[in-house]
Structure 1
Amino acid sequence: MHTALCDTLGIEHPIIGFTPSEHVAAAISKAGGLGVLGCVRFNDADELDRVLDWMDEHTGGRPYGVDVVMPAKVPTEGTQVDLDKLIPEEHKAFVERTLKDLGVPELPEDAEQRAGVLGWLHSVARSHVEVALRHPIKLIANALGSPPVDVIEQAHAHGVPVAALAGKAEHARRHVRNGVDFVVAQGYEAGGHTGEIGSMVLLPEIVDAVDAPVLAAGGIGSGRQVAAALALGAAGVWTGSLWLATEEYLQTMPASAAMQTALVRATSSDTVRTRIYTGKPARLLKTRWTQAWAAPDAPEPLPMPLQNLLVSPAHNRLHETNDPELVSMPAGQIIGRIDRVRPVAEIIEDLLSGYEEALARLEKTR
């Protein structure tokens, strides 16, 4: 499994793996892919710097990248206190009432506080870029489309290419006009922020629309699906949900065992696309929490980043319950393929062998 993307990024296989876990990202890179560390969890740029130092030491000299989040719409700045004033009291009351109805207790004093809204602000995302460019990264991706042109130019000045997610061909064309190097065609099946067009339709549309390498995202969890993506014109694949149920993920986030239990139990029907996580449409694991927000008395989700500010404390409490029916987590429809917790290297091996088997089947049809 080798494409021109491998030569460009210095990797063995055209498999890019997005993850909020540095342990998973490092393992993907060491297995021959490109691990991309999600930075949104870092409110503190110094903490990100320390984690990237760890990545430098634990990737064996293999390439890795980072993913930042730069929302395009106001409000994008201000302190958490300033933004909190913009949240309606009825929304706060609904969250508290829902947590009570679900039997979710307050956090214990020694509980870990996960990052909240600040990681979604332009100012914080820019600090992430500045920190990342002090390290030997090979890619910067923006999860919400094109970063500002000056950020793209800043990355290029350091010799680092930029990737941006697109849910429509028009988005992809705009990204390339802005200077983006790689377009991630993210289909409806994908976890997290995703559009309304399925991957089988979206990918060839974007490949035909732009003169730039396109990465396929959404619904990719086997070697057969990698082969299909490359057959449709992709230069490589962008994977995310596949890495949630890995042994390495627990090294970064030990409290995620309940989430992994929920993923192993889930089918491909057990996700929902909703704005309740960040304010923009995102695909989540379906739980009692998501069902509460779908009830007739639930308020409309707030715009980004206010929705994330509203629900982040609730997510901390939900995760602390260790209840698989309550955890709140972005996840794509590919979770239906997850049947156990595995090491990253084993998943990479399965992708490679499944790809070869798919090619062999096709060869028999000639």
Structure 2
Amino acid sequence: MRTALTDLLGVEAPLVGFNRSPGVVSEVSRSGGFGVLAATMYTPEQLDAQLTWIEQQVEGRPYGVDLLVPGNVAHGDPADLLASLRAQIPDEHVRFVDELLERYEIPARSRPHEQGGELLANFDATGVEALLDVVFAHPVALVANALGPPPATMVERAKASGVAVASLVGKPEHARRQLDAGVDVLVAQGTEAGGHTGTITTMVLTPEIVDLAGDAPVLAAGGVASGRQMAAALALGASGVWCGSVWLASHEDITPDSVKRKFLSASSSDTLRSPARTGKPARQLRSAWHDEWERPGSPAPLPMPLQPMLTGDAWDRIDEAAEAGHPGATALESYYIGQVVGAFAELAPAAEITRRMIDDCAARLGELGRLGAESAVRV
């Protein structure tokens, strides 16, 4: 299955597996796809350790890294950016979260929450450079930026290292900006996807981006969790697929079991796009958390990075309590997930998911080829 993407990255199949779990990333690469580590909440030291571990597992096979580098870094006192940002969170929002947790009787964590370094690494200019230092000290084949055009320094360093640069787009105008910034691979992410998305569907967006991309490979993302959907993306002109949600149904994924149980019982209509977790619209499993933020009189979510700073401790408490079976926490529990969650029937090894998608895609493409040949004979 050879495409412009497989030629660029040196992989067997045009399947990119995006996940925050090193175990998933390594298994995707070991199984013929291309694993990408979602490194949006790592300190440089943590990222170095994760990449070192992945390299030991993939044994020379290519893999990539996805960073969250916003176009505008956080603004505050450079001497103490974390405290400066916290001071910008209104008391009204702090009270709202405290009262919400009290109403659902969420207990305190067994260990205090210590948020800071991993968040600032992605929003402080100095922290971003430190993360890039780690990335380019490892033999990555691709680096992606999760929010907007990548900074010039990322593109320059990638080009100098022979590393491909990818970036997500949700509109045609996004693609134009990304190409102007020097991006090599465009990920056309439809609204069906989990995490931060726009409002255009994958079926509509992918051919629009393909028509704009020229020689740059385009990956379809959003609503791709099977070989049939992978084949459909290739039929739209994509050079491959970028999959995230499907790995949340794998054994290797580190999402808490309490969340995975909710995934397995959810339908495709049980997700929503909401800024209530990060400050930007992100698709996730709907829960009582979102109902509370949408009630009349509730405060509007804060912009990124203030909203995750406001809610970080709350989510740690919810996750821990839900894992212990706490009913209030279970009602609030959620995570980022695309509409393909409705297809989740059981958990499986990431390698099995990878191989099944690749094999089913090849089978479907073969069926379509035979259908085309039969149609030509009839004509």
Answer yes or no: same fold by TM over 0.5.
yes
Counterpart position of 1:359: 365
Q: How many residues were matched structurally? A: 361
Q: What is the alpha-carbon distance in structure 1 between the residues aligned to residue 162 and residue 333 of structure 2?
A: 39
Amino acid across the alignment from 1:138: A
Q: What is the alpha-carbon distance in structure 2 between the residues aligned to residue 292 and residue 111 of structure 1?
A: 23
Q: Residues 163 and 122 (structure 1 numbering): CA distance in 2 closer, same or farther, change over 3 Å?
A: farther
Map 1:310-321 to 2 at 5 A: 310-321=310-321
Counterpart position of 1:301: 301
- Runs of 5+ in structure 1 lacking a partner? none
CA displacement at 1:295 relative to structure 2: 1.3
Counterpart position of 1:48: 47
Amino acid across the alignment from 1:141: A
2:239 aligned to 228, 235, 242, which one?
Answer: 235
Q: What is the alpha-carbon distance in structure 2 between the residues aligned to residue 275 and residue 315 of structure 1?
A: 14
Q: What is the alpha-carbon distance in structure 2 between the residues aligned to residue 73 and residue 281 of structure 1?
A: 17
Counterpart position of 2:154: 151
CA displacement at 1:122 relative to structure 2: 4.1
Partners of 2:188 and 2:221 within 8 A in 1: yes
Q: Residues 63 and 147 (structure 1 numbering): CA distance in 2 closer, same or farther, change over 3 Å?
A: same
CA displacement at 1:28 relative to structure 2: 0.7
Map 1:250-329 to 2 at 5 A: 250=254, 256-321=256-321, 322=323, 323=325, 324-329=330-335
The question of 1:179 aligning with 2:172 is answered no
Counterpart position of 2:90: 88
Partners of 1:199 and 1:219 within 8 A in 2: yes
CA displacement at 1:110 relative to structure 2: 7.4
1:249 counterpart SS class: coil
Counterpart position of 1:16: 16
Map 1:184-263 to 2 at 5 A: 184-211=187-214, 212-250=216-254, 256-263=256-263
CA displacement at 1:357 relative to structure 2: 3.2
2:100 counterpart SS class: helix
Q: What is the alpha-carbon distance in structure 1 between the residues aligned to residue 113 and residue 302 of structure 2?
A: 27
Amino acid across the alignment from 1:97: E
Partners of 2:73 and 2:123 within 8 A in 1: no
Partners of 2:282 and 2:336 within 8 A in 1: yes
Partners of 1:23 and 1:248 within 8 A in 2: yes
Task: Report the TM-score, using the length of structure 1 for normalisation.
Answer: 0.94
Amino acid across the alignment from 1:20: R
Q: Percent identity, please.
A: 45
CA displacement at 1:273 relative to structure 2: 0.1
1:62 counterpart SS class: coil
Amino acid across the alignment from 2:190: G
Q: Out of 316-325 and 72-81, give the one that drifted further.
A: 72-81
Q: What is the alpha-carbon distance in structure 1 between the residues aligned to residue 114 and residue 89 of structure 2?
A: 24
1:17 counterpart SS class: strand
Q: What is the alpha-carbon distance in structure 2 between the residues aligned to residue 195 and residue 110 of structure 1?
A: 35
CA displacement at 1:106 relative to structure 2: 0.8
Aligned alpha-carbon RMSD (Å): 1.8
Q: What is the alpha-carbon distance in structure 1 between the residues aligned to residue 68 and residue 268 of structure 2?
A: 27
- Runs of 5+ in structure 2 lacking a partner? none
Amino acid across the alignment from 1:247: H
Amino acid across the alignment from 1:149: A
Q: What is the alpha-carbon distance in structure 2 between the residues aligned to residue 310 and residue 22 of structure 1?
A: 27
Amino acid across the alignment from 2:29: S
CA displacement at 1:89 relative to structure 2: 0.6
Q: What is the alpha-carbon distance in structure 2 between the residues aligned to residue 100 and residue 116 of structure 1?
A: 27
CA displacement at 1:135 relative to structure 2: 0.5
Amino acid across the alignment from 1:131: V
CA displacement at 1:115 relative to structure 2: 7.6
Q: Residues 243 and 125 (structure 1 numbering): CA distance in 2 closer, same or farther, change over 3 Å?
A: farther
- The structure having more radius of gyration, on CA atoms, is 2
The question of 1:161 aligning with 2:164 is answered yes
Counterpart position of 1:136: 139
Give per-residue Cα distances to partners, 1:215-239, cap 9 Å, x unaligned: 1000001111101101111011000
